Every structure is written in C-alpha cells, then in structure tokens.
C-alpha cells in the first residue's frame, strides 16, 4: 500500500461548525427576520439564556420554529447584582457551544432584540469569536419597537438620539438627560421611581412616554405621569423635548 493510499484511509477531523447569533426582535414572533426564521427552522442545536431557572423569553419567541428533536443548550443566568454568577453561566454555555462547534456542528444562539445592542449574545461572542466562525443576524431592537408602539418619532434631520441605561446613578442620569435632545431610557424595571423623579425635576414629564412589553399582547403605552408604580424589566421610557422634531 502506498503512502498516498494509507493517507486516504485515515479519517479527517471534522471541520468546525459555525455559530450564529440570531436576533429575535422585541417579542412578537412575526417581527423576526426571514433570515432568523430560516436559521432557527434548520437548526440541529439551539442555545439560549434563561433567568434564574425560569422560562426563556428568547425561546418563547422562537418556539414554533424549533425542531422537536433539536438539542437545546440552556444558559441559566442567575438574577444577581453581582457579575460573577452571570459570568460563570456564560462560561459554561460557551464551553457547551464550543464542544458542538469543534465537533463540526452549527449552533444557533437565540437573543432577544439585536445581538449587539444590549444583547446577551455579546457575552458568548466575546468568549468564542477568536476561535470559531461567528455570524451575526441583526434583529429589530426594543428601541424602535417601543417608538413604533408609542407612535413617537425619535430623531429627525441632525437631531441626536441618546440611549441611557436606567441603573445609572441619579446625578449622572439627570446630567445626561438635561444635555440630550431625544432620549431613550432602557432597563427601567426597579429604577422607575428614580427615573420618574429625575424627569419630573427637569420639568420634562409631559414629554415622556412609558412603554412596557412592546409588541406583546400585554403591551402597555402610557404617559410617564400615568405609569404604574412598579415596572417589569422589559420596559422603556421615551422622551423628546419640545416641539415635534419631524415637522
């Protein structure tokens, strides 16, 4: 047997699989892109985060598209102000995904909204992008979904749009809102009382709209002054100052 013949009988290692970070949009399944739906329908392995052992919002959006026999990698992310428990969860998820990719299998990782806009997929991307082929599928963001639900254009011509996270300290939040033109405040949740107080003190209450669970059957859109005392994590405040900027 020649050297070439012997080489041809030696099994080759499988080529690496591709990791797809798939944005699902803000919640309504029909706001997924066609590309996202196609990838999920064909996926043999699907990964997604859950919060503290609860049901996965990401999975619920895509549930009708996931194959019954698909392997599911669940990343259980604890609800904690400490960063390390969540980092440990993403470490474990990245390890399971890497094992599949090294075996030559593609993995579709689900992410609410857009993977690179406050998206959980960024934590997986940071752990695996230097070792594997990673493809990003953008999704409709909660910002644009909330603006549509509130019928509230956010920016026109040369106007600046400022996006702020609700957990910012009160003084910083006040300064950033005061110096902005059009504002989106995300991650409202338990920070609603603080945010509402800051906006009221700035005299901007009449310009602010509260939106929770945009695009879902339980969606709520209200003037900020009429917002409930408590807000879910999936809530947002939109604020445009003064006259309609699009006129």
For 103-150, the pLDDT digits (tens) are 999 999 999 999 999 999 999 999 999 999 999 999 999 999 999 999
Nearest to 37 by CA among 20, 51, 16, 54: 20
pLDDT at 90 over 50: yes
pLDDT at residue 53 tops 80: no
CA distances from 83 to 77, 80, 89 (A): 10, 7, 10
The dihedral built from the CA positions of residue 242, 244, 246 and 247, taken in this order, carries a sign that is: negative
φ/ψ (deg, to 5) at 135: -110, 135
What confidence score (pLDDT) does residue 241 get?
85
User: Which residues have CB under 8 Å from 111's CB, separation 6+?
Assistant: 21, 22, 23, 24, 48, 58, 119, 120, 121, 139
pLDDT value at residue 9 = 58
CA 185/CA 165 separation, integer angstroms: 6
Residue 100 to residue 39: CA distance in whole angstroms: 16
Q: What is the pLDDT of residue 75?
A: 94
Distance CA 45, CA 187 (A): 30
Query: How far apart, in whole angstroms, are the C-alpha atoms of residue 31 and residue 143?
Result: 14
Per DSSP bridges, beta strands 71-77 and 18-23 are unpaired
Phi-psi region of 225 (alpha: psi -120 to 50; beta: other; left: phi over 0): alpha
Furthest C-alpha separation in the chain: 87
Higher pLDDT, 54 or 170: 170
Query: Is pLDDT at 36 greater than 60 in this prediction?
Result: yes
Question: Which range is least confidently modeled, 70-84, 94-108, 201-215?
Answer: 70-84
Query: What integer pLDDT is reported at residue 242 of this predicted model?
Result: 64
Average pLDDT over residues 235-243: 86
Residue of higher predicted confidence among 145 and 84: 145
Q: Which residue has the tokens 């209200």?
A: 222
Domain boundaries, the chain: 8-140, 143-240
Kindly state the DSSP code that residue 19 receives in the 8-state scheme: E
Here the tokens at position 80 are 């904690």
pLDDT for 5 beyond 80 = no
- Percent residues over pLDDT 90 in the chain: 81
State phi, psi for 62 to the nearest 5 degrees: -100, 5
The CATH H-level (homologous superfamily) assignment of domain 8-140 is Tetrapyrrole methylase, N-terminal domain (3.40.1010.10)
For the stretch 150-181, pLDDT in tens is 999 999 888 899 999 999 999 999 999 999 99
Domain 143-240 = CATH 3.30.950.10: yes
For residue 244, what pLDDT band results from cuts at 50, 70 and 90?
A: low
Give the model's confidence band at 12: pLDDT under 50 very low, under 70 low, under 90 confident, else very high.
Answer: low
Per the listing, tokens 């994590």 go with 233
Write the CB contacts of 187 (distance below 8 Å, at least 6 apart in sequence): 118, 165, 166, 167, 233
For residue 222 the two structure tokens come to 């209200």
pLDDT for the residue 92: 95
Residue 86 pLDDT > 90: no
Please determine, for residue 81, whether its predicted confidence score (pLDDT) is greater than 80: no
Q: What is the pLDDT of residue 246?
A: 44
pTM value is 0.88
Confidence of residue 38 (pLDDT cuts 50, 70, 90): very high
């Amino acid at each position: 047997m020649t050297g070439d013949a012997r080489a041809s009988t030696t099994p080759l290692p499988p080529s690496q699989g591709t990791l797809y970070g798939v944005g699902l949009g803000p919640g309504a399944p029909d706001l997924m892109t066609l590309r996202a739906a196609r990838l999920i329908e064909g996926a043999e392995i699907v990964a997604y985060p859950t919060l503290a052992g609860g049901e996965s919002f990401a999975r619920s959006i895509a549930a009708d598209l996931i194959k019954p026999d698909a392997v599911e990698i669940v990343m259980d992310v604890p609800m904690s102000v400490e960063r390390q428990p969540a980092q440990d969860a993403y470490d474990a998820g990245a390890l399971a995904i890497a094992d599949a990719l090294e075996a030559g299998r593609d993995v579709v990782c689900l992410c609410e909204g857009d993977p690179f806009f406050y998206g959980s997929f960024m934590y997986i991307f940071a752990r695996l992008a230097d070792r594997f082929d990673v493809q990003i599928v953008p999704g409709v963001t909660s910002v644009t979904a909330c603006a549509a639900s509130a019928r509230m254009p956010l920016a026109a011509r040369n106007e600046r749009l400022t996006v702020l996270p609700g957990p910012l300290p009160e003084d910083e939040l006040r300064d950033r809102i005061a110096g902005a033109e059009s504002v989106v405040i995300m991650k409202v949740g338990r920070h609603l009382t603080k945010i509402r107080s800051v906006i009221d003190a700035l005299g901007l209450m009449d310009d602010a709209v509260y939106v929770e669970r945009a695009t879902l059957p339980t969606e709520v859109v209200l003037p900020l002054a009429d917002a409930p005392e408590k807000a879910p994590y999936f809530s947002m405040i939109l604020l445009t100052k003064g006259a309609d900027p699009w006129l």
